[in-house]
């Protein structure tokens, strides 16, 4: 079975084209960021998992003391670093690597917030990742995620994705439902889970939850 680390070459090759593409749904993206900003304070430290070329991390930076971005693609992070430098943003630190047991750059309970936009459906072990997210947050910390839930669609994505992977056009994708994701977030220990309407496509689950105080 392929791991997230195994897909780094795929994302490295895609990086320049990915960076050149406009945001697919800018209105929904802006609304997600608005809701995320509302959870943040100037002294906060926040982690953006699967940060890609830094679009979200750089939008979060003005609202936080420190933002960490993590991605398996060194090419994505090279572009992210160039964007930060061009924008004069110096409170964002990017890290190359997977979000798994090997990620030890941040201490448990050290983060005020964690964002996982468009990443949970790509992780090899989502439950372990949610447990790790919970551990890294301080009591009362927030978790914001935006996840592709393809089981919500009538389209037969399973066979389609297998063909696309065979052609080298897609990474491994986990087919999950919104209810499954909600149950996993609850099982990890999060409370006050809710799904604000951001006007996204029906297959996108935007979720906000908190670690108990």
Task: Single out the residue of 155, 148, 153 nearest to residue 171, CA to CA.
Answer: 148
Task: Single out the residue of 115, 130, 109 nearest to residue 174, CA to CA.
Answer: 130
Question: Which pLDDT belongs to residue 1?
Answer: 36
Task: Single out the residue of 115, 70, 75, 113 nearest to residue 93, CA to CA.
Answer: 70
Q: Contact at 8 Å (CB) between 183 and 123?
A: no
Strands 92-96 and 204-210: unpaired
Question: How far is the C-alpha of 85 from the C-alpha of 61, rounded, in Å?
Answer: 13
Task: Single out the residue of 93, 97, 90 nearest to residue 111, CA to CA.
Answer: 93
The pTM of the full predicted model, rounded to 2 decimals, is 0.91
pLDDT in tens, the chain (213 residues): 345 557 899 999 989 998 998 888 999 999 999 999 999 999 999 999 999 999 999 999 999 999 999 999 999 999 999 999 999 999 999 999 999 877 888 999 999 999 999 999 999 899 999 999 999 999 999 999 999 998 776 666 666 666 666 667 667 788 899 999 999 999 999 999 999 999 999 999 999 999 999
Question: Which pLDDT belongs to residue 2?
Answer: 43
């Amino acid at each position: 079975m392929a791991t997230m680390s195994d897909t780094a070459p795929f994302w490295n090759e895609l990086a320049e084209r990915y960076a050149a593409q406009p945001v697919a749904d800018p209105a929904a993206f802006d609304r997600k960021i608005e809701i995320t900003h509302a959870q943040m304070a100037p002294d906060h430290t926040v982690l953006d998992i699967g940060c890609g070329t830094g679009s979200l991390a750089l939008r979060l930076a003005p609202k936080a003391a420190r933002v960490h971005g993590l991605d398996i693609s060194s090419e994505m992070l090279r572009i992210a670093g160039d964007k930060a430098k061009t924008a004069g943003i110096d409170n964002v630190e990017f890290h190359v690597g997977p979000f798994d047991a090997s990620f030890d750059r941040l201490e448990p309970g050290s983060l005020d917030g964690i964002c996982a936009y468009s990443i949970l459906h790509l992780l090899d072990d989502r439950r372990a990742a949610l447990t790790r997210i919970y551990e890294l947050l301080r009591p009362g910390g927030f978790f914001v995620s935006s996840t592709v839930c393809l089981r919500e669609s009538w389209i037969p994505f399973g066979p389609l994705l297998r063909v696309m992977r065979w052609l080298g056009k897609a990474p491994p994708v986990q087919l999950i439902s919104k209810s499954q994701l909600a149950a996993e977030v609850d099982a990890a220990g999060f409370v006050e889970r809710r799904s604000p309407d951001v006007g996204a496509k029906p297959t996108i689950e935007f979720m906000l939850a908190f670690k108990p105080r």
